[in-house]
Structure 1
Amino acid sequence: MLFDIGLLLNVRIQLGIILAVFCGYWIKKFFFRTETGKWKSPFAEDSRKPLTPLISDHAKRDETMKRAFTKKLANEKKWDAIVIGSGIGGLSTAALLSKAGMKVLVLEKHYKCGGACHTFRDDGYEFDVGIHYVGNFIRPTLTRTLLEQISDGQIQFAKFDNNVERLMLDAMSPSRREYTISSGPDAFENQLIKQFPDEAQGIKEFFRLLKRAYNPRGTMAWFATKLLPLWFNKVLQFFGLPRLLSDFYALGERSVKEAIESHVKNKDLQFLLSYSTAGFLAPPSRVCLSTMALLHVHCCEYGSCYPVGGASEMPYRIVPVIERSGGRVLMKAHVSQILTEGGKVVGVRVGNKENSMVDIHAPIVISDAGMQNTLLDLLPERVAKKSPAWPLMKTIKPSYGNISVFVGLRGTPEELGLTAQNIWIHNGSDLQKIVTESVAAPFQDVLAKPYPSFFLSSSAAKDPSWKNRYPDRSTLSILSTAPYSAFSQWSGPSTKKRGDDYNALKNAIGQNIIEQVTTLFPKLKNAIDYVTVGSPVTIEHYLSTREGGTYNMEHDMTRFGPEQSALLRPESGIEGLYFTGQDVITCGFASCLYSGFLCASVILKKRYRLLWELFNLHRKLYGLPEGRNDLFF
């Protein structure tokens, strides 16, 4: 029998169905009504412009990317909103509000704009620090339309090779195995069925679960909990409706490890199905199936791509949209405090020295600095405790950080064998054990043998504009997890002032990793021209994350349940203060882009109406999506 009629006799389910009908009416009445307010729609018209040539002149780019804070610039006009942080969450919020007519001031602590989207140059090389790949922005989806409208349509992307990922297991042992991950609809699933025919049924069942988890209807319910009033969320949770109506929440209760092991038995196959969880910097037992499914469809089902001109093209093309409406994006602006009066946010303070502090006032402050930094460091505790998210500040830990090894190479990508792929190197074949030991084992034990695992990416091979910008040179970015505790003693001093012991430790790790890389890829050994190594305290310094976490809050299962998701929302619960960035949704470029969208929709009092306006513009530009999966990813 396909449906158990007895379920309808359950009183709780009956009440839930009645409530669901009421929800539909209530949402339509209050969220889809036409608002007439001070601010116009950011999507009132198509703001794309004819594509302009790539700007490779560093001085010209720095005029936008490195405009320094001054008291005069900060107080040159009355601001409608202030954004703390210039990551993609902060910039997307600021751009949408600017397109609606607001004058927005963005304040960035770093000397360069962009957060994890920025790049750095040294000794004739350029490196990306956070954007090594993004999901498919080639297809006409709502996500691409959103990005086009806040960047004048100037950001172009290059698609990866069809074999988007390459994995090595037991990489430094005689039993090394190598696999590639194919991109395209159902390509990975079909590839695995050919490679592991005895596990065909389990593979099909697992991918069926993934498709349920990333169904747009379910992910829309996830977004909805972040916009619905908290009291309403609590009513829905009481009746169990989030898990009943959304597969994202229903399947989010299952870990990737449990789901895979219940379907397939082959150890290499289990590794291949779970490999992408390493991108969340958590072991498979602590990553929920739903978030893994989103990553799979965004980057594997339809392939990954890379911004032409490098990761800094994103902030470089968004900043002019903010400034066109009278806004500013200023660097070297360390916000030390959010100003409050009577429990209401009224502005920010830049600087922490009495003779140089500058107070800037605005009725709206948006934090892209992370919820923990905002509530624990920037606000008085008596005010911060008013936020419904306050209890989560102690229950959700910061994410793990990275060891980053940046390598400059003499020679072109073609000469060195570098490809437009992501390469995952693992010294073992048990991902759960590898990830756990890399952050939990005594660090000296980790250094005494081949480094457990790392990720390789070459922006030189992925970016078609690279050969014109940096002829006869290539780069390699190598990332791996590392415990903050091994470096915490050096968290205070600024870069280049942490002493010989710090440099010796991080360089020993870098050398360990480079020796493995050059063993696996011999062409690189004699081409190495430049090496620098970053640690979790490097991330802590430049991105201001707690404990050097790459992703602010940890991406484990508890964070993505309906109760926690409802609290991790744009509205802070403190009048005048809003959140954007990866804490609102999840890590990744597209997720941060949507965090800005959700934040702007609340501030503009449009909520779901703004999504409808984006959809209408998308429909005019590209027609109706062919299927539900063409909506977002």
Structure 2
Amino acid sequence: MDWTWFSTAFPNAIGITASVLLCYCLKKIVFTTSQWRSPFAEDSRASLTPLEIDQTKRDQVLKRGIRSLATEKKWDAIVIGSGIGGMATAALLSKAGMKVLVLEKHYKCGGACHTFIEQGYEFDVGIHYVGNFIRPTLTRTLLEQITDGQIQWAQLENGFDRVIMNSTSPLRRDCSVSSGKDAWKNQLLKEFPGERKAIEQFFALMKRANHPLGYSLGMSVLKTIPLWLAKAMCFLGLPCLLSDYFVLNKRSLEQVVRSLTDNRDLQFLLAYSAGGFGVKSNRVSVSMAALLHVHCCEYGSCYPVGGASEIPYRIVPVIERSGGRVLMKAHVSQILTENGRVTGVRVGHKEQSAVDLYAPIVISDAGLQNTFQDLLPENVAKLSPSWSLVNSLSAALGNLTVFIGLKGTPEELGLTAQNVWIFTNFHPMDDEPDSEAVLQNYCTNPYPAIFISSASAKDPSWEKRHPDRSTISVVSFIPYSFFAKWSHLKAKKRGDDYNALKNAIGLQIIDQVIRQYPKMKNAIDYFSVATPVTIEHYLSTKKGGTYGLEHDMERFGPEQSSLLRPESGIEGLFFSGQDVTTCGFASTMLSGLLCAGAVLKKKYSIAFDLLSLHTKLSGRPENLDSLFF
């Protein structure tokens, strides 16, 4: 090969591509017009109002059914699903002047932000902790603008994560993960003085992978520029040249950790957070691990005051202010199309009771696979460039959650404002056994890895809302196949065998939790177990996948990332939610920003408008780290 030619031609290709991209963006920003105003034209924050603790009044907002609507309005846009991605999109479009209808299959809105109450105990289902909302960032400003500035945050303990290794053996090790700038790194340097080089190299990779111009800007560029240009950039390998995020996405967390140290305990602590993605450490990229680390560890973690449902509760009025509605028990069974473009949605299955609702814009927060496989005719779905991902990317692993209601306050029971990861004789980088023997072991032996969270200990408003009561949610992952044979049956009507199996696993997990919190042994007043088929029913995810599409290395490569974008390629249809970005509250909310920009034909200016408002409210940022995540 003529490397002399290559050394001059390749930089020229980069320069030409960059110039084309710059000119295109300037043209779109300066010359593209939109009939809708900017969602960030003015600061919509209001004075804080007291928490509404009357559940009946909250339910009037969070449980408003589809029966309250016939077809009396013309809608500018319809959103399928009320997860934070869909709600953020709807709120931004409403702030721009659109009349938006949000339709939710569940009886309560919020998606993974909703909470439920059983026998007087309130449980969160998805928001266990959120990183980096204590300080002013673009993400926080975005949330404030779609909630009228009504969300308050309570910071978790400095040791926001507690990791217990080998919990049932003499080799047990208990470690709290410190939060703050370089705090976790410095803690590990003290605990492993002979591993300084490995630790320094690991955290250098974390910062390299999560440079603000890498993920936040690099990923957004691939999802907003024309697809043909994104493909050209991928063909030339430009994403890897422009962003270390994509370079390090090719290296697994396990590969990196093993290359740095042979110390099993240190390997464990550097890789434990892979569980947060529901993927083994040999398939989680260093880049994604860095994103989680910086977001939750470097800048501290927090929890919404009033519980996770406070977030959708405060967004609904913003949507309604422009004439929109958020309606539950509204099962969208079909996206209506005509001549290859979207015209609206059908709500309900039975012909005699189904209702067709029309709008020129439909936004799906239901996930890529649900949308293409269940809601669209196949001949229309195949028109989308993203269709190729439906079968090439897998659904995320499902989880098993045990909800425990306790008599007594968090203080009396020894519950703390931190997450607790308990690993038995299990290492995040070891191969897991499979087969039916595993299922039997889950019922009789300690569960290999569990995550414990107590909303009652994290939320300072809890005692006022639920005096003398506490709750714990215990989460772990389990294959969908273990419960698949009951998936066709209705919730709470799956029979004795199903209940016996899930409760046997649940009781084994409860025994493990009691070892950690012995004071709760005689305080348990209620428990229930949710399986992947439970999640499949309530959140409508494929195979009960907690995070939509699987969060492995392939999913976040530049080619796949450019296809997972708000614009579907089908006229009138857009995507929002975690399939567009990643799992996690902040990232999914940002998908709403990307989607709203695409719908409003303000893909580029909307980010500048947000930055301008953020600077006006919080002052000029000291550096890029002060802006993102």
**Which TM class, normalised by the smaller chain length?**
over 0.9
1:122-180 per-residue CA deviation (whole Å, 9 max, x = no partner) reads: 11110001111111211000000000000000011100011111011111122211111
User: Which residue number in structure 1 is paired with residue 131 of structure 2?
Assistant: 135
Corresponding residue of 2:558: 562
**2:503 pairs with one of 498, 502, 507:** 507
For the pair 1:347 / 2:349, whether they are aligned, the reply is no
Maintained 8 Å contact 1:160/1:462: yes
Q: Helix, strand or coil for the counterpart of 1:415?
A: helix
Match for residue 57 of structure 1 among 51, 54, 58: 54
1:41 aligns with 2:38: yes
CA distance in 2, matches of 1:449, 1:174: 17
Of 313, 317, 323, which residue of structure 2 is paired with 1:316?
A: 313
Instruction: State the distance in 1 between where 2:462 and 2:434 align.
Output: 33
- Tell me whether 1:371 sits opposite 2:393 in the alignment: no
Partner of 1:104: 100
Q: How does 1:416-455 map to 2 (within 5 A)?
A: 416-433=413-430, 436-437=432-433, 442-455=438-451
The aligned amino acid for 1:49 is A
For residues 549-593 of structure 1, what are the alpha-carbon distances to aligned partners after superposition, in whole Å with 9 as ceiling and x for unaligned?
101110000000000000000000100000000000000000110
Correspondence for 1:13: 10
Is structure 2 residue 121 aligned with structure 1 residue 122? Answer: no
2:28 is aligned to 31
Match of 2:176 among 174, 180, 201: 180
Distance 1:204 1:11 in 2: 36
Aligned equivalent of 1:170: 166
CA contact (8 A) 1:267 1:429 kept: no
SS of the equivalent of 1:390 reads helix
- Using a 3 Å threshold, how does the CA distance of structure 1 residues 54 and 212 change in structure 2: closer, same or farther? same
Q: Matched residues in 2 for 1:574 and 1:62: separation? A: 36
CA pair 11-258 structure 1, distance change in 2 beyond 3 A:
same
Alignment of 1:84-233 (within 5 A): 84-219=80-215, 220-233=217-230
Where 1:573 maps in the other structure, the secondary structure is coil
Structure 2 counterpart SS, 1:37: coil
Letter of the aligned partner of 2:456 in structure 1?
A
The corresponding residue for 1:296 is: 293
Mapped contact 1:440–1:483 kept (Cα < 8 A) = no
- Once residues 440 and 59 of structure 2 are traced to their aligned partners in structure 1, the CA distance between those partners, rounded to angstroms, is 41
Specify the SS of the correspondent of 1:231: helix
How far does residue 192 in structure 1 lie from its aligned partner after superposition?
Answer: 0.5
In structure 2, C-alpha distance between the alignment counterparts of 1:66 and 1:545, rounded to whole Å: 21
Match of 2:479 among 458, 478, 483: 483
* Letter matched to residue 439 of structure 2: F
* Match status 1:545 vs 2:550: no
1:326-352 deviation line (CA, Å, top 9, x unaligned): 000000000000000001100000001
Instruction: Describe the SS at the equivalent of 1:359.
Output: strand
Q: Check 1:228–1:621 CA distance in 2 against 1; reply closer, same or farther (3 A cut).
A: same
Q: Which residue of 2 aligns with 1:526?
A: 522
Kept in 1: contact 2:426–2:448 (CA 8 A): no
| Separation in 1, partners of 2:413, 2:613 | 44
Aligned with 1:611 (options 596, 607, 614): 607
Number of equivalences: 626
The SS at the match of 1:432 is coil
For the Cα contact (< 8 Å) 2:576–2:595, is it kept in 1? yes
Distance in 2 (CA, whole Å) between partners of 1:602 and 1:7 is: 42
2:407 and 2:554 mapped to 1: Cα distance? 46
Q: Taking structure 1 as the reference length, what is the TM-score of the superposition?
A: 0.97
Contact 2:444 2:508 in 1 (8 A): no
Cα distance in structure 1, aligned partners of 2:346 and 2:435: 36
Q: Tell me whether 1:248 sits opposite 2:241 in the alignment.
A: no
- Counterpart of 1:3? none
Q: 2-side partners of 1:17 and 1:102: how far apart?
A: 40
Distance (whole Å) between structure 2 residues aligned to residue 443 and residue 258 of structure 1: 29
Deviation at 1:494, TM superposition (A): 1.3
Q: Does the 8 A contact of 2:110 with 2:312 survive in 1? A: yes
Residue 466 to residue 7, structure 1, CA distance change in 2 (3 Å): farther
- Cα distance change on mapping 1:24 and 1:348 into 2, 3 Å: closer
Matches of 1:279 and 1:124, distance apart in 2: 29
* Secondary structure, aligned partner of 1:33: helix
Code of the residue aligned with 1:403 in structure 2: it is L
Give me the whole-angstrom Cα distance separating, in 2, the residues matched to 1:36 and 1:21. 24
Q: How many angstroms apart in 2 are the aligned matches of 1:7 and 1:87? A: 53
Identify the match of residue 585 of structure 2 among 586, 589, 592: 589
Per-residue displacement from partner, 1:423-445 (whole Å, max 9, x unpaired)?
000012521337x4479964223
CA spacing shift, 1:27–1:183, aligned 2, 3 Å: farther
User: What is residue 382 of structure 2 aligned with on the other side?
Assistant: 385
Unaligned runs of 5+ in 1: 1-5
Give 1:529's aligned amino acid: D
For 1:247 and 1:509, the matched residues in 2 are separated by 42
The one of 301, 323, 327 equivalent to 1:326 is: 323
- Partner AA of 1:342 in structure 2: N
Name the CA distance, whole Å, in 2 between partners of 1:170 and 1:570.
43
> 2: CA distance between counterparts of 1:201 and 1:547?
42
Separation in structure 2 between the aligned mates of residue 145 and residue 438 of structure 1, nearest angstrom:
45
The 2-side partners of 1:550 and 1:142 are apart by 26
Q: Report the Cα distance in structure 1 between the residues aligned to 2:99 and 2:363, rounded to whole angstroms.
A: 13
Q: How much does 1:34 deviate?
A: 5.4
**TM-superposed deviation, 1:9:** 5.6
The amino acid of 1:598's aligned partner reads L
1:8–1:289 CA distance, 2 compared to 1 (3 A): farther
Measure how far apart 1:76 and its partner are. 1.9
Q: Report if the CA contact (8 A) 1:8-1:14 is conserved.
A: no
Contact 1:107 1:330 (C-alpha < 8 Å) held by counterparts = yes
**Secondary structure of 1:105 counterpart:** strand
Task: Supply the RMSD in Å over aligned alpha carbons.
Answer: 1.4
Q: Kindly provide the amino acid, as one letter, of the partner of residue 312 in structure 1.
A: S
Offset, 1:23? 3.5
Q: Is the 8 A contact 1:271 1:429 kept in 2?
A: no
Alpha carbons of structure 1 residues 134 and 535: separation in structure 2 relative to 1, 3 Å = same
Asked if residue 336 in structure 1 is aligned to residue 333 in structure 2, the reply is yes
SS in 2 for 1:581: coil
Deviation, structure 1 residue 417: 0.6
**Cα distance in structure 1, aligned partners of 2:459 and 2:24:** 44
SS in 1 for 2:198: helix
* CA gap 1:60/1:8 in 2 versus in 1, 3 angstroms: farther
Equivalent of 2:72 in 76, 80, 91: 76
Deviation of 1:477 (Å):
0.3
Helix, strand or coil at the partner of 2:474: strand
Structure 1 pair 510/271, CA: closer, same or farther in 2 (3 Å)?
same
Q: Alignment partner for residue 275 of structure 1, among 265, 272, 277? A: 272
**How many angstroms does 1:12 deviate by?**
4.8
Q: Is the 8 A contact 1:172 1:516 kept in 2?
A: no
The residue identity in structure 2 corresponding to 1:303 is G
**Structure 1 runs of 4+ off > 6 angstroms?**
438-441
2:625 corresponding residue in structure 1: 629
Do residues 493 (structure 1) and 452 (structure 2) align?
no
Instruction: Give the 3-state SS of the residue equivalent to 2:574 in structure 1.
Output: strand
- The alpha-carbon distance between structure 1 residues 371 and 441, as it changes in their structure 2 partners (threshold 3 A), is farther
The verdict on how the C-alpha distance between 1:7 and 1:42 changes in structure 2, with shifts beyond 3 A counting, is: farther
